[in-house]
Amino acid sequence: MIKELVTKGPKRDMDVKAPVHKFGRHFSNTIKGHPKGGLDDEGYKDWRHASGRLKKHEVGLEHFKNMNEWFELRQRLKCKETIDKVAYEQFKKEKDYWKQVIIRIVGLVKFLAKYGLAFRGTNEKLYQKGIGNFLGLVEMLEEFDPIMKEHVRHVLNEECHVHFLGHNIQNELIQLLGDKVRIEIIKKVKQAKYYSIILDCTPDTSHQEQMSIIVRYVNFNSSSMTVEESFLGFLVVNDTTGLGLFEVTCKELESLGLDIGDIGDMRGQGYDNGANMRGKNKGVQTRFLEKKS
C-alpha cells in the first residue's frame, strides 16, 4: 500500500466541496490535501488561522524530511532499486498467481450458474466421492491447466490455508455475479422506459414464503428489438396479505431505481389467481391501480 501511495501520489479532488461542520466552517480548496496542521500528532482545529499554520508546517524540518523520503522512495521505485526489491517481486508474483486462480474459479461459477447446475455435493474435499459439480470441474481443469494443477497441488499438500474452493467463496461469487447481472437488466429496463412486472408466491424448502419478481420489457439493440422477461430474484415475504405483498414489491422496485411514482413507467402486471394478488378489493393489482389513479 505504501508503494502504491508513493507511486501514484496524493489524490486531490478540487471539484468536491468539503463538508461543513456545526459552526458552518469547512476546508477550502486552497488547503485541501493537507490532512494535518501541527499537525502530526495532536491535530488542529483553529480554522481561522489554518492557512497560515499550514504554510508554517510546509517550511518545517519534519515536512522537508518526509518529503525527501517520499521523493527518494518514488525514484527508487521507478528504477526498481528498493532495498526490498526481491521481496516485492516475490509478492507481485504471488499476487499474479492468485489473480489467475480467481479468474478460473469465477469462470467455473459462471458456467454452472449459466446452465442451472448444482454446485455442491456431500463432500468438499478434492478427489473424494460426492464432491459435486464445482470441485469436479476443478479436478477436470487441473488435468489441462498448469495454474490449476499447481493450485490443486498446494491444496492437497495443505500448503495453503485459503484456497477459494469452499462453499463460502462460491456463495460470495454467485452473489457478486448476480448483482452485476441485475444491474445490467435494470439498465435495459430504463433504456426501454416502460415495463411490466410478473409476481408469484411460493414457499421454499424451509417453508418460508417467498415471491419471485420478473420484469418484462423491450430490449433495444443495433439490429433488432425483442420483448424479454428477466428474473430479478426472490423476495422474502413475512406478510402475505395484499398490503404486505404490495409494500414488499414497491420497496424492491424503488431499491432497483425503477420509477413507481404514480406507477409512472409500469404498464402491465401479471399475477396468479390468489385473492391477495388479483383481488378486486385489497389485492396487489388493485393497490397498484389505485396508486396510478
| Mean pLDDT per 10-residue segment, the chain (293 residues) | 70 68 70 49 65 76 81 74 70 89 94 92 90 93 93 90 89 92 91 88 80 90 85 85 82 83 73 63 68 61
Contacts of 141 (CB under 8 A, 6+ apart): 104, 108, 148
In a domain, 227, yes or no: yes
> 181 in the Ramachandran plot: left (φ > 0), alpha (ψ -120 to 50) or beta?
alpha
In a domain, 178, yes or no: no
Which grid cell is 205? 424448502
Number of structural domains the chain divides into: 3
Let me know whether 239 and 271 are in one domain: yes
Give the domain-ending residue among 26, 49, 83. 83
In a domain, 240, yes or no: yes
The answer to whether 170 and 120 have CB atoms below 8 angstroms apart is yes
**Dist. CA 197–CA 217, nearest whole Å:** 9
Domain of 17 in residue numbering reads as 2-83
Give the domain-ending residue among 83, 118, 141. 83
Let me know whether 194 and 160 are in one domain: no
Contacts of 167 (CB under 8 A, 6+ apart): 119, 120, 124
Let me know whether 79 and 149 are in one domain: no
In this prediction, residue 35 carries a pLDDT of 47
Nearest to 200 by CA among 146, 138, 249: 249
Let me know whether 141 and 156 are in one domain: yes
Let me know whether 192 and 221 are in one domain: yes
In this prediction, residue 264 carries a pLDDT of 67
Place of cell 442451472: 116
In this prediction, residue 282 carries a pLDDT of 64
In a domain, 63, yes or no: yes
Give the domain-ending residue among 83, 115, 144. 83
In this prediction, residue 50 carries a pLDDT of 72
In a domain, 170, yes or no: no
In this prediction, residue 230 carries a pLDDT of 92
Nearest to 246 by CA among 277, 292, 201: 277
Let me know whether 104 and 192 are in one domain: no
Which grid cell is 101? 486462480
Contacts of 18 (CB under 8 A, 6+ apart): 26, 27, 28, 32
